[in-house]
Amino acid sequence: MDSNPDNDGGSQMKNPEKKPEPKAMTPEPQSAWPSYTMVEDRMKKIYFDFYQATYRKSRIDRKTKELIAIAASLGFKCQGCLNGHLKKAKKFGATPEEISEAIAIAMGVAAASVVDLTDIAAERLQIKHFE
């Protein structure tokens, strides 16, 4: 069983209706290989305790936390995380428009990172194609 807190088992659940499953943006394991096989138990416990603490009641409501997690999942290219947080965001009342906005924000940050990297390269190499 996958013990990833973000992965609600979607990658390992059987498809009872035999519908073709959509292709994922990032590859998911093709087998039932368990997560965390390279992490010591004491480190897993530290991680799980930390992870659970981030979702406890706080000044940020759970729906907002899930929208943030969607954007973070995209930024860190974690397909299992994305799947789980999309489901949780809907469960906690996120609308399609709110989810779309979180995705658009991640897209904007990703695009800005390209500009940032090319600006750094241009300065280091003293390249000015357009002024």
Query: How confident is the model over 57-111, as pLDDT tens digits?
Result: 999 999 999 999 999 999 999 999 999 999 999 999 999 999 999 999 999 999 9
The CATH number covering residue 31 comes to: 1.20.1290.10
- H or E stretch at 98: helix 96-125
The residue written with tokens 């695009």 in the block is 111
Give the residue numbers spanning the domain of 105.
Answer: 1-131
Structural domains of the chain, count: 1
The residue written with tokens 């390279």 in the block is 38
The C-alpha atoms of residue 117 and residue 99 are separated, in whole angstroms, by 27
Which residues, in sequence order, are CB contacts of 103 under 8 Å at separation 6+? 70, 71, 74
Which residues, in sequence order, are CB contacts of 68 under 8 Å at separation 6+? 60, 102
- pTM beyond 0.85: the answer is no
